[in-house]
Structure 1
Amino acid sequence: MSRMDQFLAQLPKVELHLHIEGTLEPEMMFALAERNGIALPYRSPEALREAYQFDNLQSFLDLYYQGAAVLRTRDDFYDLAMAYFKRCDQEQILHYEIMFDPQTHLNRGVRMNTMMEGLVGAQQDAQRHYGASSNLILSLLRHLPEEDGIAALEQAKPWQHLINAIGLDSSERGNPPSKFKRAFELADSYGWHRVAHAGEEGPADYIWEALRDLQVRRIDHGVRCQEDAQLVEYLIHHQVPLTVCPLSNVRLGVYNDLRQHNLKQLLELGLCVTLNSDDPAYFGGYLTTNMLAVQNALKLSETQWIQLTTNAINASFAPVERKMALKQRLTSAVVNYHLGPTSQVAGA
């Protein structure tokens, strides 16, 4: 392992763009399918993993929704979340903001209380066991009618104090952000922050729409912003965070090769770029793996990695005092790293 790889492995991390259903590893999918008496159209976890060859976003989503069908009970959602939270502890991820797609489950008969009890229970246990902080983002499926999303939000109202933000994901092409203006206004009445996927497969105009019509605080992906120079200037001036997911972009054909990715260029232009894993069980790696792959392809400096982490802390919806603690942890980790190879990072 190179010295830079060692630096990245021990660096305190924050993840802001993570779909919890996208952490469903083939082994867990088979275990939950057996637990719930569900037959999967694959012989084994290995055969399922071999099917993870995606031509575009839609080809991934078809398999993603099929896999999510094994999630039926509170324990299923709890086990799924805890598996990711445990990995976060191993990877020095101290704060994470996870998206979940309630419509995926509501539309097949799973109750909102079932998924929320599992996810919130895992959140609380992870905080006790690992000292980590986290937020939940309820994401609407943009390929469904806005009315369906509003119905999901109404079912989430009893849990509004435990959900931090509304998001928007699924098939981007042909489903502009403006389609969900009323749903985002309803979420605003709950006191939630606003984020939305835009500028991944969709055009730069979708980023403008998300900013203007949905009043979002963060753009998920946003890599196509460079198609519009005025938009880039706006994002720089207002320091609108972009939650970029490099391995996801390559696996879904947004870029043919990670060396072509614009993450480093956006960072050097002064945009508030963050690095994330998106749906790591499907795209070949969690946050540290994304970082190592980016380093191998784009050769970022240590200063740039510290900036990416600082951006993520600033862009998070964590309370101010938690952000200060995360920044102190980051500073301590960098100092300890340079003091010598035996230095250990303090607890979260």
Structure 2
Amino acid sequence: MTIDLAAFARALPKAELHLHLEGTLEPELKFALAERNGIALAESTVEEVRATYDFTDLTSFLAVYYPAMGVLQTARDFEDLAWAYLTRAAADGVRHVEMFFDPQAHTSRGVPFADVIGGYRRAAVRAQAELGVSAELILCFLRDFSAEFAMATLMEALPYRAWIVGVGLDSDERGNPPEKFAAVFARAKQEGFLLTMHCDIDQDGSIDHIRQVIEEIGVDRIDHGTNVVEDPALVSAVRERGLGLTCCPSSNSFVTESMKADEIVQLMREGVRVTLNSDDPAYFGAYVAENYVLLAEHAGLEPADLVTLARNSFEASWLTPARKAAFLAELDAFAEEQGVARG
């Protein structure tokens, strides 16, 4: 039986673990929110907005990314943004998602923390009820702000502890190593949050940063982290600890010269829990199912390999054991129905 790879990838039950809600702001919604909030934009068409997406590295991406968030003003705006993503995710076979959000990008311009998380939370609850999609929130600190601001944001988040599954670290990695936030993450762990940190691809000090997050911070997962292939001892540590790596092929190809397909596949073959995700899909042009297809086509993967990647996504998630087992059973049933050997 010949399998339509795109259709298979889209229907494949999966979790998405590396998704920035602010990175799902499609131009059409940007215009709608600007009109709602009386904001004048520099661009007048969708094509003009997309023409600004000329990224050569992480820094050039962030220079476009943060200003676009200015259209997000109210709890309703944040709910609409998350709902638009969750609807798209459901159509892509996503059964569970752990979504990053950047409160400091909003509170630093006067938007109340309560409005940010309140809007996102309403969309997450609605997604479970109306779409059958399980959704959790991960609060990310912006690493190019101070550790003191991060700690203050953590304190502001504590009343909403039940709505936040974990904390992460993102934004510009240059000069902002993981150890800068060691005390913040230690306090977050004490408060019961799970931990993850971005170790973006091909950064100055990538290997040392990966070592820091494993040995000093003690994270539960690593975002990106593909440069770990450069150090076999660290690969062994990641595998032995069962740490997931949340890889993003499409965004990799925008900010570096490749999607890191060879490295992702190598790690998968070596038994590391690599997962595929869309990162900031409105900017990089590929939601999660498309990332599965892009990697499969580039690396010559078979449907069974995609099942392995989907299995990794559930195993690397922060679901409870019972919920994780239920999603894995759903994945196994799908693979059997499609005539694909268990990944």
TM, length-normalised to structure 1: 0.94
TM-aligned CA deviation for residue 79 of structure 1: 0.1
1:73 and 1:114 in contact (8 A); partners too: yes
Distance between the aligned counterparts of 2:83 and 2:261, measured in 1?
34
Is 2:182 the partner of 1:181? yes
Distance between the aligned counterparts of 1:190 and 1:29, measured in 2?
35
Q: 1:302 to 1:308 in 2, by over 3 A?
A: same
The correspondence of residues 33-182 of structure 1 with structure 2, limited to 5 A, is 33-182=34-183
Gaps of 5+ in 1: 340-348
Is 2:279 the partner of 1:244? no
TM-aligned CA deviation for residue 261 of structure 1: 4.1
Cα deviation digits, residues 230-276 of structure 1 (max 9, x gap): 111211222211000001111111xx234754211111122111110
1:250 and 1:258 in contact (8 A); partners too: yes
* Equivalent position SS for 2:127: helix
Q: Which residue of 2 aligns with 1:285?
A: 286
Is 2:224 the partner of 1:224? no
Distance between the aligned counterparts of 1:137 and 1:63, measured in 2?
22
Is 2:236 the partner of 1:233? yes
Q: Which residue of 2 aligns with 1:16?
A: 17
Q: 1:302 to 1:165 in 2, by over 3 A?
A: same
* Equivalent position SS for 2:49: helix
Q: Which residue of 2 aligns with 1:334?
A: 335
Structural RMSD (CA): 1.5
Distance between the aligned counterparts of 1:238 and 1:98, measured in 2?
23
TM, length-normalised to structure 2: 0.95
TM-aligned CA deviation for residue 304 of structure 1: 1.6
Distance between the aligned counterparts of 1:199 and 1:45, measured in 2?
29
Runs of 4+ in 1 over 4 A off after TM superposition: none
2:166 and 2:194 in contact (8 A); partners too: yes
Distance between the aligned counterparts of 1:238 and 1:115, measured in 2?
34
TM-aligned CA deviation for residue 303 of structure 1: 2.2
Distance between the aligned counterparts of 1:160 and 1:116, measured in 2?
11
TM-aligned CA deviation for residue 337 of structure 1: 2.0
Distance between the aligned counterparts of 2:79 and 2:44, measured in 1?
26
Q: Counterpart amino acid of 1:166?
A: V
Distance between the aligned counterparts of 2:337 and 2:229, measured in 1?
37
1:169 and 1:197 in contact (8 A); partners too: yes
Cα deviation digits, residues 151-175 of structure 1 (max 9, x gap): 1111111101110000000011211
Q: 1:210 aligns with which of 210, 213, 231?
A: 213
Distance between the aligned counterparts of 2:78 and 2:143, measured in 1?
22
Distance between the aligned counterparts of 2:33 and 2:338, measured in 1?
41
2:93 and 2:289 in contact (8 A); partners too: no
Gaps of 5+ in 2: none
Q: 1:260 to 1:88 in 2, by over 3 A?
A: closer
Cα deviation digits, residues 260-309 of structure 1 (max 9, x gap): 54211111122111110100000111001111111111111222211111
Cα deviation digits, residues 186-242 of structure 1 (max 9, x gap): 211221100000142331110111112221010000011122221112112222110
Q: Which residue of 2 aligns with 1:195?
A: 196
Q: Which residue of 2 aligns with 1:313?
A: 314
Q: Counterpart amino acid of 1:24?
A: L
Distance between the aligned counterparts of 1:260 and 1:7, measured in 2?
20
Q: Counterpart amino acid of 1:79?
A: D
Q: Counterpart amino acid of 1:80?
A: L
Q: Counterpart amino acid of 1:325?
A: A
Distance between the aligned counterparts of 2:189 and 2:70, measured in 1?
30
1:218 and 1:241 in contact (8 A); partners too: yes
* Equivalent position SS for 1:168: strand
Distance between the aligned counterparts of 1:102 and 1:213, measured in 2?
25
1:242 and 1:273 in contact (8 A); partners too: yes
Distance between the aligned counterparts of 1:218 and 1:171, measured in 2?
19
2:273 and 2:312 in contact (8 A); partners too: yes
Q: Which residue of 1 aligns with 2:324?
A: 323
* Equivalent position SS for 1:197: strand
Distance between the aligned counterparts of 2:151 and 2:260, measured in 1?
40
Distance between the aligned counterparts of 1:331 and 1:270, measured in 2?
19
Identity, % of aligned pairs? 40
Cα deviation digits, residues 47-71 of structure 1 (max 9, x gap): 0111111010011011110111111
Q: Counterpart amino acid of 2:193?
A: W
